[in-house]
């Protein structure tokens, strides 16, 4: 069905029935959401899938943007979406494990087929196998389900040469080694080469899974990705022990929560550990009985369908009231005149009216996706985390305005272009470290520096001798002192030369600047990358739009001794992303505790700071080998963690962070 046909069907349904709300029961329903939103039907979308296993990639993003409320079935699937989309889990996002599904009699299969039952029993428990330990696996034959890991576990168990026989039986459609050459043929070969023909059996799907649960001793869930499989819920609620891998399924989290990690949750894709769990439960019937009872007692209320439906209904009722609240927040923000559309907007919404841009902001905050700040100096998530439980009904900026714009850590001093500036004291020592990986970009930087009265000493790092020659030629037009031009290892991008090569020398100055030539070659949109570079340089040095911005920054730092660092206020809201673990290690070395969940920092690692702030980082005594080798990932490394700590450390030292803003300039 085409999008147009689907829109027509939705429109027809809406015209015939007065819908209070709609529930989209899977990410696969994403194409229906646009039509529902167009006619203002509140929607609750149920997400059972991992975002990493969802195609097209934009589908889950569209669900988050178009839904009034989004319900993830597990914490694991939510965290996957957070990692993939830098999602903030706002009030519109909930977690609710689905209820156990019971197929009504007569639906699809002849559920009471005696022939089917006899066939299944004959394969599960053939004559003479009553004493065998039966390990069950269920699901379609596909890589995601981990049938190969099921077989590998069986091989590990078989090597133990135990007196008791183990039977590993997988039930599911799709096993056809004679014709299916993607997966089935390799599973068949794996069984033969491991000598497991008498230990492992793969059966077709059946309508009589209840029989399998009754006679099996354990359900093995070897999936690589399986959010909350119904077969595991069925097994748990019947008291059949379930063993699985950590980090692959919400079932693992459930088992950990009820205290069964030691017995039922193996390390990630570690089939040896998986086999150890199976063997331990087989060897101790009393332990298996205890695990079964605890699983059943906790699973029945956790996966109760009536409770699940009731909870969804409550979420849907909340969704009905959300539209009215969003409109109220939009009207309040528009009336305040405080919203800075020139700062918030980006290319995709540049042509929209002021009110529509405000709506984009409010709905973005509600969805938790692609967040941007409503004005320079205000951080909506810092306000949200400081004034609520982080899941406020109202938009944080609207709430801030309702409360008469209270002071707090959510506000930073804004150094605006065009501000009056006083000449720098003659005895003030200012230095700028400049990492010139792309020497061809230095001309613009020197021109911007020369606009200002302040002329910091320059310490310049390059990565080649040719780059050094080109750099020295360009810097000959600089009106200040070029203290050093040095070829450094290509490690740590701009941070390595800044802290490891020049750090000690830089700390002898009063105010230290840090800039680097920037092309962001990982960004496909070259216009966006160039705009980002211009945004940073105008805010920190000045130029045709900002004037003498360096002079303004230095003047503000001299008049306010509490300012520890100054950097451009980036409109994007970014937090730790993949860098929290490394940041914790850095903060321990710095003597900083209790890192904030939400904070502002110099996105792009360019700033002006007091010597005491830079000294904190220099004293980490980082060596060249501490930095990641090229090519460096776009996130999750030491240099990305340090970038964020530049925003956190000054505040921990009792200083403040100030931000710059150039009117009409954003990215």
pLDDT surpassing 90 at residue 600: yes
Question: Which has the higher per-residue pLDDT, 107 or 451?
Answer: 451
Average pLDDT for the chain: 94
The single residue listed with the structure tokens 């105008």 is 538
Count of Cβ atoms closer than 10 Å to residue 609 Cβ: 27
Give the residue-averaged pLDDT of 376-387: 95
Q: Cα–Cα distance between 150 and 145 in angstroms, integer?
A: 9
What is the 8-class DSSP label of residue 441?
G
User: Confidence band (pLDDT; 50, 70, 90) for 522?
Assistant: low
Whether the predicted pLDDT of 496 surpasses 80 = yes
Residues 6+ apart with CB under 8 A from 655: 562, 563, 564, 565, 610, 612, 613
Among 3.40.50, 3.30.420, 3.30.519, 3.30.2250, name the CATH number for the domain at 3-95. 3.40.50
- Residues 286, 292, 293, 295, Cα dihedral to 10°: 140
Q: What is the pLDDT of residue 102?
A: 82
Predicted pLDDT at 521: 67
Nearest residue to 151 (alpha-carbon basis) of 217, 195, 204, 181: 195
Q: What is the dihedral of CA 74, 100, 133, 290, to 10 degrees?
A: 80
pLDDT over 90 at 108, yes or no: no
Q: Is 161 left (phi over 0), alpha (psi -120 to 50) or beta?
A: left
Please give the CATH number for the structural domain made up of 114-303. Answer: 3.40.50.2000
Average pLDDT over every residue of 629-637: 95
CA atoms of 52 and 83, how far apart (whole Å): 10
- Return contacts of 377-380, CB within 8 angstroms, 24+ apart: 377/411, 377/412, 377/413, 377/414, 377/569, 377/659, 377/661, 378/410, 378/411, 379/410, 379/411, 379/412, 379/573, 379/598, 379/599, 379/600, 380/410, 380/573
Residue 390 has pLDDT above 60, yes or no: no
pLDDT for the residue 61: 93
pLDDT at 215: 97
Does the pLDDT value for residue 106 go beyond 80?
no
Whether the link from the prior residue into 56 is cis, omega within 30° of 0, is: yes
pLDDT at 497 over 60: yes
Token pair 């700590």 is found at 645
Q: Indicate whether 467 pLDDT > 60.
A: yes
pLDDT for the residue numbered 519: 81
Q: Do domains 3-95 and 114-303 have the same CATH topology?
A: yes
- Please give the pLDDT value at position 3: 86
pLDDT of 252 higher than 50: yes
* Segment among 105-109, 312-316, 495-499, 549-553 with least mean pLDDT: 105-109
At residue 391, the pLDDT reads 57
Q: What CATH number has the domain spanning 421-661?
A: 3.90.550
What pLDDT sits at residue 111?
Answer: 47
pLDDT at residue 112 greater than cutoff 70? no
Torsion sign over Cα 607, 611, 616, 620: positive
pLDDT at 422: 81
Q: Which residue ranges make up each domain of the chain?
A: 3-95, 114-303, 319-415, 421-661
Predicted pLDDT of residue 17: 93
- How are beta strands 511-516 and 430-435 bridged, if at all? parallel
pLDDT of 512 strictly over 90: yes
pLDDT band at 324; cut points 50, 70, 90: confident
| pLDDT tens digits for range 422-465 | 887 778 999 999 999 999 999 999 999 999 999 999 999 999 99
Which residues does residue 221 pair with via DSSP β-bridges, in sequence order? 244
Give the pair of three-digit tokens for residue 565.
Answer: 């660092």
The string of DSSP letters for 335-371 reads HHS---HHHH--GGGTTS-HHHHHHHHHHHHHHTSS-
Alpha-carbon separation of residue 402 from 328, 331, 333 (angstroms): 11, 12, 9
Question: 520 or 33: which carries more pLDDT confidence?
Answer: 33
Q: Of all residues in the chain, what percent carry a pLDDT higher than 90?
A: 89
Count how many residues are written for the chain.
Answer: 667
Q: What is the pTM of this model?
A: 0.88
């Amino acid at each position: 069905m085409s999008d147009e046909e689907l829109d027509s069907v939705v429109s027809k349904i809406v015209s015939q029935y007065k819908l209070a709300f709609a529930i989209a029961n899977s990410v696969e329903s994403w194409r229906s959401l646009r039509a529902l939103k167009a006619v203002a039907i509140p929607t609750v979308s149920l997400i059972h899938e991992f975002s990493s296993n969802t195609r097209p990639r934009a589908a889950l993003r569209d669900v988050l943007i178009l839904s009034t409320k989004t319900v993830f079935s597990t914490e694991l699937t939510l965290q996957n979406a957070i990692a993939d989309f830098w999602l903030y889990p706002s009030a519109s996002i909930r977690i609710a494990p689905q209820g156990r599904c019971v197929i009504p009699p007569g639906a699809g299969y002849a559920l009471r087929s005696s022939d089917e039952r006899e066939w299944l029993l004959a394969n599960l428990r053939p004559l003479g196998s009553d004493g065998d330990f039966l390990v069950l696996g269920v699901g379609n034959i596909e890589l995601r389900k981990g049938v190969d890991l099921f077989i590998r576990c069986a091989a590990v168990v078989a090597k133990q040469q135990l007196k008791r026989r183990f039977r590993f039986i997988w039930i599911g459609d799709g096993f056809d080694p004679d014709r299916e050459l993607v997966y089935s043929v390799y599973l068949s070969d794996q069984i033969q080469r491991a000598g497991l023909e008498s230990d492992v059996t793969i059966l077709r799907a059946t309508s009589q899974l209840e029989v399998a649960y009754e006679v099996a001793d354990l359900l093995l869930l070897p999936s690589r990705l399986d959010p909350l499989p119904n077969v595991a819920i069925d097994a748990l609620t019947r008291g059949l022990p379930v063993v699985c891998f950590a980090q692959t399924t919400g079932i693992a989290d459930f088992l950990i929560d009820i205290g069964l990690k030691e017995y039922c949750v193996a390390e990630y894709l570690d089939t040896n550990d998986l086999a150890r769990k199976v063997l331990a439960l087989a060897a101790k019937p009393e332990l298996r009985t205890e695990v079964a009872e605890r699983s059943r007692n906790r699973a029945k209320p956790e996966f109760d369908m009536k409770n699940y439906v009731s909870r969804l209904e409550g979420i849907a009722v909340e969704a009905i009231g959300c539209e009215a609240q969003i409109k109220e927040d939009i009207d309040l923000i528009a009336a305040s005149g405080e919203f800075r559309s020139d700062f918030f907007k980006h290319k995709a919404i540049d042509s929209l009216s002021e009110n529509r841009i405000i709506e984009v902001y409010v709905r973005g905050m509600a969805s938790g996706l692609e967040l941007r700040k409503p004005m320079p100096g205000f951080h909506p998530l810092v306000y949200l985390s400081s004034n609520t439980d982080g899941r406020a009904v109202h938009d944080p900026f609207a709430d801030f305005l309702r409360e008469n714009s209270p002071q707090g850590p959510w506000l930073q001093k804004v150094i605006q272009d065009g501000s009056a500036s006083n000449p720098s004291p003659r005895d003030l020592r200012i230095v700028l470290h400049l990492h010139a990986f792309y020497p061809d970009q230095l001309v613009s930087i020197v021109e911007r520096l020369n606009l200002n009265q302040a002329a910091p000493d320059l310490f310049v790092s390059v990565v080649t001798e040719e780059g050094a020659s080109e750099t020295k030629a360009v810097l000959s037009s600089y009106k200040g002192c070029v203290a050093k031009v040095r070829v450094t290892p290509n490690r740590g991008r701009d941070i390595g030369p800044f802290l490891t090569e020049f750090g000690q020398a830089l700390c002898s100055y009063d105010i230290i600047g840090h800039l680097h030539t920037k092309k962001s070659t990982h960004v496909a949109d070259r216009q966006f990358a160039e705009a980002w570079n211009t945004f940073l340089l105008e805010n920190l040095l000045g130029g045709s739009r900002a004037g003498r911005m360096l002079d303004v920054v230095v003047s503000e730092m001299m008049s306010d001794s509490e300012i520890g660092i100054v950097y451009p206020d980036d409109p994007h809201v970014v937090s730790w992303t993949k860098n929290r673990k490394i940041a914790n290690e850095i903060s321990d070395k710095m003597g900083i505790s209790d890192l904030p969940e939400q904070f502002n920092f110099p996105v792009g690692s360019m700033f002006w700071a007091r010597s005491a702030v830079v000294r904190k980082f220099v004293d980490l005594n980082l060596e060249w080998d501490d930095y990641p080798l090229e090519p460096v990932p776009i996130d999750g490394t030491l240099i990305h963690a340090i970038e964020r700590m530049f925003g956190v450390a000054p505040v921990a030292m009792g200083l403040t962070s100030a931000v710059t803003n150039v009117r009409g300039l954003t990215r």
